[in-house]
Structure 1
């Protein structure tokens, strides 16, 4: 393979491999982040839909109670009930008067039927659906329980009306609080389907529906009609919910489409609540990002390959001319001088070669001069050979580097993890203590490398995965940080005091991480004493200066810049564990918020870390 092709391939590999690795890691991280966000969103929708469902039922029950408590039903209804028991015009008038007080509620769309059941025998004496009048409902739960108080019967299939129903009942009492009848109403379940169909911004495929304990739909799903109590469903999400479980799954829905579904069982209503979104819809942003990364990687690789070809051409062309001129001189032509132009070792070699030929031509009349020129020519030839050797060695080193970068440097972590686990699993009973110790060293090295990678990702996410800047109570951030460190605080007996702290403009999660890292360092870097930590803040113009003081080992002034550099440590791991990235993350968080961080310390007498954050804007 010629040098042009080799350099082009080298530049191509050195660009496409890092871009692909970074793109793959970004894709996986984005996919995981989106999955977590979708899961949280689906679960929050379930909570919201459950609350809406319960509020809808309670509101309708309250309407029925208010209707039953109207003065008409407490004062006039008993007399109309007596008149209705008689025959003649009074019966008809009483029937019409009672219906006039029930129909507005039905016309309002809350109930599609209201009816009154006599308390003594359970007979429907009056209904907005005249086909139901005269029927005996003394065995129905809403009649039996409705005589004693408001009762809500869960969704069932009403044989009398051949429809799914949900009935609410409440007693009708006279002035002496005696139950004389039961007022019952059948809810319009199409309104319940409408509540479930209200979707969020997560995607066009969002679907929320209810399923009863017999696997039948209670509300209409988004992509089907006429399903309510007419069709059954047996998806993984419904099966899990009927098993009294609550969670999230990845399965195929009733259409056979892969979805992410959140499910839960509502025991008080004997219903499953299911919220699903198509996986294709949920992962659309990260799939688009993958295409963009691949396009960018291809473009960068082509540019790099072209640059490598041009670079190779600028090197090989002068060398080819130099070789041709050398062959001419070797054949006896001393006028074959050349100049490649430009700068660099090859151009210098060509100019030296030309000068050598010119001097050789002018010394043909003198043997001594000729010998001297021949010697110069030998020196020039040696210089040429040296340049060619250096170029060859450089090319080999570049090839070796490409191989290491593309293969060897990516293998150690996987190889260490795989083979040490294989040794430990297969030969544990055959290894002596020394071998087991070596295996532990290897595993520890792999874990440290993994921790370094994770810390580096955490460091990079400060600016790329931060939340928005909002108004944050810094005392709440300190409390959250102390909660996260409660094990270390309890173990060391650390005493932490905190003055009243202000409200600032910050990323809430990163502010917790900032305090957590500083408190953790204060607990870690100490002698055999109980850690004493104090936190306070001072107003500094339009900002607040926070101070975190401890009684630890202190820091030398000469390390004031080094301690904030990533992976810089002042102590060995055996003295104090860690990777040396905590303060670097602190600095990055503070700088992201437009502040600065520094420290003051007396070695042996503790350290005070100071940092500034913008004050929250005043209201009004």
Structure 2
């Protein structure tokens, strides 16, 4: 080959490489510029959304303040508080309902008394509800307060409520007024997509990681979707940053997030990464076109240059054909090896390749054996996985069926493999028993994972039915085409049983509340119907009964709420240094009246070396409250109680002893069960709910502690609580 031709070929290759590198550099510079522009745009959007949010809430606060100052409303409320007449209540409701009809930004207005009871509401179903524990009531007795983005357990929906005091002409607080804001307006404000394209959105996340506005793409996320992305974690640390990350849909986005301290929420603005960098496609096309042109030039030059080297190359080609046929002992022509130009170098490289191929062949055989073992290992994993798994091809024929699938369905793999799954495995709806395998077909048609988590049953080989949760994931080839699907299903019979148990718990709770409510209703009717004819002492007796039953009902509700939080795991511990002795003394002070009525003597023994311990003060107070109140309630008049707190490394030991009625041995195994009460004490105290010890044990368990007891019937009981010195 002439040196000029060789030189021309080298220049072409170098030019191609240079242009390609330049195109790549230009690509990344442009990409950086686009990213910076998107970030600046997102920053503007977050500032705009924050201002819009602040303005919206300020406007709602102003509306509530103006409405609370309405002279007609205040006059009717004063009359209603004084005379309790329906005409005044109806007048107030008319004013509030008219306001709701005019101002669609609110869902409900209501007025509470000083006990937090809703006395007047635009929603009659809410009247009589107790809001004492809500922040908008407690803070609203003092000044205007906005309780932002919380979950209203009574309404079972997200809420934002504005509360403020209602004052008479003398400036005295007479009631607390509240307005529940329509969060759909805030969601619409956030979902509005100006400047965010087709894949972008803005949304709010509260300090408990829950989305408080609706998703632009899915409904029902508000205060029901917990988000634990890195961006949310950083934002909850009160950071303001931007970057490329995965959002709550596990999709890559360019985002900007900022912490809004005023409302204790994170504001996030995001746009899909693919949409943001869409302009780069034109750049890629231009680079590809240029590369193609250079490649065409390369081929043209190669055509002419190839004539000069065709003969030796043909010889090498023949050798390569022999090599491809498996002849690894081929010999290269010594004449080609002796050449000093590029052909000679190629011949030498070819000769080296033959040598290396011999070595690679040996290595390849070893790798094939290794891959075979890995395949067997993957098969073993699928066979040993705890869920049922089977795989189908595009014709729905079953190609894999693991052991758990055999156990759940009752079919052996031999009966299933090679058959269409519809002929063997029948998924049906729970009630009507209609075919319910659309999730699988949808997965193969859409190329997306589909799930059916409830109300689906699998008909087993013996004809019995088992409730299953099932999902299907498409299998795709290298080109993205769906070639089959993996179906994973599991027996959820136990989960359904747990759901039924929860339903039974709600039923039992309502039964427990019915007795005090009936008693309150009876005594109230007696006072209303015959109040003037009943002497003062009897009236006091009836009122005392109403008060006692109301107190019992409040205690029941609080106990049920504590049990519910413990059962579903929403009781969150606020860990900080706690003085057990102070909490114990505070609890004893609260119970002094009860001990005085029964003439009970309490002695305490505190370890003086006991340090402050990392724990939740409320939870520790609940432990002391339940154990000491039980020791008083089920003790004899004139009895004694001993409370001791000791440090026994690496634990703290709490001991509560009494000289009460004790627990029969036959009931020892049930004493910590929910709603269980010992038979021998029911004649002494009929107001217990059987939840105290259950709550104590649940709290102790969450604190990685232990609880046990010793008891002799008619002699007394001793309860022990052992907690680690540092409660995690």
TM-score relative to the length of structure 2? 0.39
TM-score relative to the length of structure 1? 0.46
Higher relative contact order (CA 8 A, sep 6+): 1
Larger Rg: 1
